[in-house]
A and B are shown apart, each in its own frame.
Chain A
Amino acid sequence: SQQGEEDPQALSIQEGENATMNCSYKTSINNLQWYRQNSGRGLVHLILIRSNEREKHSGRLRVTLDTSKKSSSLLITASRAADTASYFCAILTGGGNKLTFGTGTQLKVEL
């Protein structure tokens, strides 16, 4: 399967701490995207990193991509209770316009 696999499956931290989630995949990609899903809601796009990029920032989010290791990481700095959600990576492979999603990391940020 080309599916991205997130690690860990679940993560619980205290407010103010940093949260790191990892995504591994098996094939070459065009880009890799991260999404957030709050309970009972649709997914929200967070950040897109292209295969020729190594790092991107957006506010408190930092994404890295290592194509040689076929892996990406999402770092959320200074986490807040509102960051509690599931986070998914999704890969776009070169041949089409379809994203393949991983199974997600459930992040809980406690006060």
Chain B
Amino acid sequence: DAGITQSPRHKVTETGTPVTLRCHQTENHRYMYWYRQDPGHGLRLIHYSYGVKDTDKGEVSDGYSVSRSKTEDFLLTLESATSSQTSVYFCAISEPGTSGRASEQFFGPGTRLTVL
């Protein structure tokens, strides 16, 4: 998985509790992304980062926050988990391509989160 790890790999939590998912890369890639994958929706972007301390919202950012204090780590936090946030979460990394835009993305193995 291209030097990308996610932790935890599985988590069951209760509604209203805070949850933090971690993405760690050893590739020194500039861009990092958090997606969620749900049946019928494909992958939807939650937040992404284009450098240390530089983050931006994606398509489904409500209820999520992120932080990136080091190049290698990108944290996704659910401040108060809800059942609608039950999903599989994927982290991805990429580097700028020749055009300056992000090129192909490399994905982590995913975290399966269940909110009861």
Contacts and interface: CB of A to CB of B under 8 A. Distances in A.
A44 B110 CA distance: 12
Interface stretch (B14-22, B62-70, B72-80, B99-107): B99-107
B107 A44 contact: yes
8 contacts: A30-B101, A42-B4, A42-B92, A43-B92, A43-B105, A50-B99, A101-B35, A101-B43
Interface residues of B, number: 31
Contacts, number: 63
Chain B binding surface, main DSSP class: strand
Interface stretch (A11-19, A59-67, A75-83, A91-99): A91-99
Given A97-B31, A98-B45, A102-B42, A42 B101 contact: no
B3 interface: no
B42 A97 contact: no
Interface of A: 3, 30-31, 33, 40-45, 48, 50, 88, 90, 92, 94, 96-104
A49 to B, nearest CB: 11
Contacts of B48: 97-98
Contacts of A101: 35, 42-44
Given A41-B109, A42-B109, A33 B104 contact: yes
Contacts of B43: 43, 88, 90, 101
A102 B99 CA distance: 23
Contacts of B99: 30, 50
B50 A97 contact: yes
B11 to A, nearest CB: 16
A33 B45 CA distance: 16
Nearest to B30: A97
A102 to B, nearest CB: 6
Interface string B1-17: 10010000000000000
